[in-house]
Structure 1
Amino acid sequence: MARMGFVGVCGFVLLVSLLTLGACSSAPSKMLGAPVTGYNHTSAAINRFSVNGAGGPNLGPYLGGGAEVCCGMLPRVWTPDLRAIVEWEKDPDPYSYGKWSERPYSDAWTKRMNEHTQTYSRHKAVVDIPQYGENVCALQVHFLPCDQVRVSTTCYTPSNPKYPDRAYFEMKESTTCPVL
């Protein structure tokens, strides 16, 4: 077998290094990660929800904001047809167990809780994602009366005067909802 000289070995190492570096791309990814947070503007509890499959936190009734959960994914570049699929489970009477006479976690209480969970409803909505720029700070999901839901990508929090979704916090829950 022929022996490689010092220059040949250095050339080989340089070639392998360049090929290895070429495999690593410095181009930005096509997707952005964003924490998922929720705001519940209803008297029901949102037991769980997801946005495009990314889970969100449990939200109590009229909860102005839940903890953020990582991470939802959005395309780096917004397009006018961009939508989100939001799925959620709702407990219409989240405090009912506080009125029960059964001893908590007894067999009778567990039976009653199993019956109560049968009142939970599951929902799914496809909603528009509003235009965003280079930065997406969070996927904010607003659960509104009558099983309506909206998604926002603002970097502002509800306490900021520039927060675009302030009107949701002033909505009143209706006793009747339109049949869709």
Structure 2
Amino acid sequence: MSPLKFLWGALFLVLAGCISASNEMAAGNIAAVNHVEGTAINWFSVNGYRASGGGGRQCCIVLPTRWRPGLIVNIEWEVDPDTSVKLPSITSDEFHSAYKKHAEGYRIHRASVEVPEWYGTDSCGLKVHFLPCYQIKVTTSCWGYGSPNNPIKEPLYMKEPAVCPK
């Protein structure tokens, strides 16, 4: 084999290794943080990976092992806009009809959000922050919510404005 063919072959292998390394995927936890007072996130999904909205970390989402520009996640979630409703006892005859009437108020929302840059392999899963006016922020930060190092600074228990900006 000629030295030139050897060099081209070696260059191809190096480039192929770089390309495949940038496409490696890994599973991580997903978590929800609801910042909106008086509402509940019944469930949410990120790129089709579904979780309950009750908080805590749940398995799993699949993301690249390394961040890349333009990395977008598609989020869908169901909101109960009235958590103050009092339902009859689950063992009562009235429960199912009262629950059905209440559930008619549930709303499903969708958003596509860019994932902020993380460095190296320092991703700690994906945290989805639900904000007023059906806005979403996501982070892969290893710092917990409330830490000065966490990039999400919006407070909890925010009120929905009477009119949301467009």
Following superposition of structure 1 onto structure 2, how do residues 151-170 of structure 1 map, counting pairs within 5 Å?
A: 151-165=138-152, 167-169=153-155
Structure 1 residue 110, shift from structure 2 partner: 1.3
Please point out which of 101, 109, 121 is paired with 1:123.
109
Matched pairs, number: 144
* C-alpha separation in 2, matches of 1:178 and 1:89: 18
Paired letter, 1:174 = E
CA offset digits 1:122-143 (Å, max 9, x no partner): 0110001000122211200000
Whose Rg is larger? 1
Paired letter, 1:85 = N
Is 1:145–1:173's contact at 8 Å kept on the other side of the alignment? yes
Please point out which of 123, 129, 137 is paired with 1:136.
123
User: Counterpart in 2 of 1:56?
Assistant: 51
Paired letter, 1:40 = N
Following superposition of structure 1 onto structure 2, how do residues 1-180 of structure 1 map, counting pairs within 5 Å?
A: 30-42=24-36, 43-59=38-54, 66-97=55-86, 100=87, 102-133=88-119, 134-165=121-152, 167-169=153-155, 172-178=158-164, 180=166
* C-alpha separation in 2, matches of 1:171 and 1:58: 15
Structure 1 residue 37, shift from structure 2 partner: 0.6
Is 2:41–2:77's contact at 8 Å kept on the other side of the alignment? yes
Paired letter, 1:138 = G
* C-alpha separation in 1, matches of 2:157 and 2:83: 20
* C-alpha separation in 2, matches of 1:68 and 1:77: 21
Relative contact order: is structure 1 or structure 2 higher (C-alpha 8 Å, sep ≥ 6)? 2
Runs of 4+ in 1 over 4 A off after TM superposition: none
* C-alpha separation in 1, matches of 2:53 and 2:154: 19
Q: 1:72 to 1:79 in 2, by over 3 A?
A: same
SS in 1 for 2:155: helix
Give the RMSD, CA atoms, in angstroms. 2.0
TM-score normalised to structure 1 length: 0.72
* C-alpha separation in 1, matches of 2:104 and 2:73: 27
Gaps of 5+ in 2: 1-19
Paired letter, 1:68 = R
User: Counterpart in 1 of 2:17?
Assistant: none
* C-alpha separation in 2, matches of 1:31 and 1:149: 23
User: Counterpart in 2 of 1:13?
Assistant: none
TM-score normalised to structure 2 length: 0.78
